[in-house]
């Protein structure tokens, strides 16, 4: 019987910043992995965001304002194509993996609205390895960046913070988690999507409680998933 992790879409953005309301897309990747984690289809975009790329962002992904301006696609055209590629995967029932999905999907949603493109208003089914990992291995110490989580599950990540490398690694991490925890995650993909909605909400509540207890009594953690 085919399992949800036998064929996965993968998605990642590199951007001008971390604020989903103001950041712009600089590069993007949408791909398709087979059951062995091989990349069998892919689309990549370098985008002219229409605003300067801060030095701090360039330090992460290596893309300068000069390069994006000279070589990047028109932002509206790129956003149209990214949304269409994701919509095509989801329409066929192929789950799309994004590590920390609310960031990438919410930022893409804002960009679609900014450029007059019909957004993905309720993307599903989505797989978020960050949410899965926190659910099945709740008490593991340390940070859970993509690089560290990939290492924990034995997934190679060469060229971190390049959209294609990060997207593919996230998909392979999702497959590795699924195979390590078949009892917890061996469900239909639509059910797993619903489980992640609840898991993310609970994880945010736990984090908010911790932060209010040890650092900031007014701290608020947002648990909406996969869109915020």
How far apart, in whole angstroms, are the C-alpha atoms of residue 72 and residue 129? 29
Indicate the pTM of the whole model.
Answer: 0.96
Model pLDDT, residue 198: 98
Class of the domain covering 4-196 = alpha beta
Model pLDDT, residue 1: 74
pLDDT, averaged per 10 consecutive residues of the chain (228 residues), comes to 94 98 98 98 98 98 98 98 98 98 98 98 98 97 97 94 97 98 97 98 97 97 98
Instruction: Write down the domain spans for the chain.
Output: 4-196
Q: Which residues of 45-77 are buried (b: 16+ CB within 10 A; e: fewer)?
A: bbbbbeeebeeebbeebebebeebeeebbebbe
């Amino acid at each position: 019987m085919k399992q949800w992790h036998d064929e996965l879409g993968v998605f990642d953005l590199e951007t001008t910043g971390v604020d989903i309301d103001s950041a712009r897309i600089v590069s993007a990747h949408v791909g398709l992995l087979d059951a062995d984690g091989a990349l069998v289809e892919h689309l990549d975009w370098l985008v002219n965001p229409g605003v300067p790329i801060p030095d701090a962002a360039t330090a992460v992904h290596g893309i300068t304002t000069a390069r994006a301006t000279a070589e990047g696609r028109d932002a509206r055209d790129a956003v149209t194509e990214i949304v269409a590629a994701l919509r095509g995967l989801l329409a066929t029932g192929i789950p799309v993996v994004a590590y920390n999905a609310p960031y990438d999907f919410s930022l893409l949603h804002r960009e679609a609205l900014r450029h007059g493109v019909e957004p993905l208003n309720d993307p599903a089914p989505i797989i978020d390895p960050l949410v899965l990992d926190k659910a099945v291995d709740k008490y593991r110490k340390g940070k859970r960046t993509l690089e560290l989580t990939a290492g924990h599950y034995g997934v190679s990540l060469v060229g971190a913070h390049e959209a294609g490398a990060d997207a593919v690694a996230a998909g392979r991490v999702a497959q590795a988690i699924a195979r390590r925890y078949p009892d917890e995650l061996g469900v239909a993909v639509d059910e797993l999507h619903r489980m992640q909605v609840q898991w993310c909400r609970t994880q945010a509540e736990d984090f908010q409680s911790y932060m209010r207890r040890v650092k900031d009594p007014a701290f608020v953690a947002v648990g909406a998933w996969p869109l915020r």
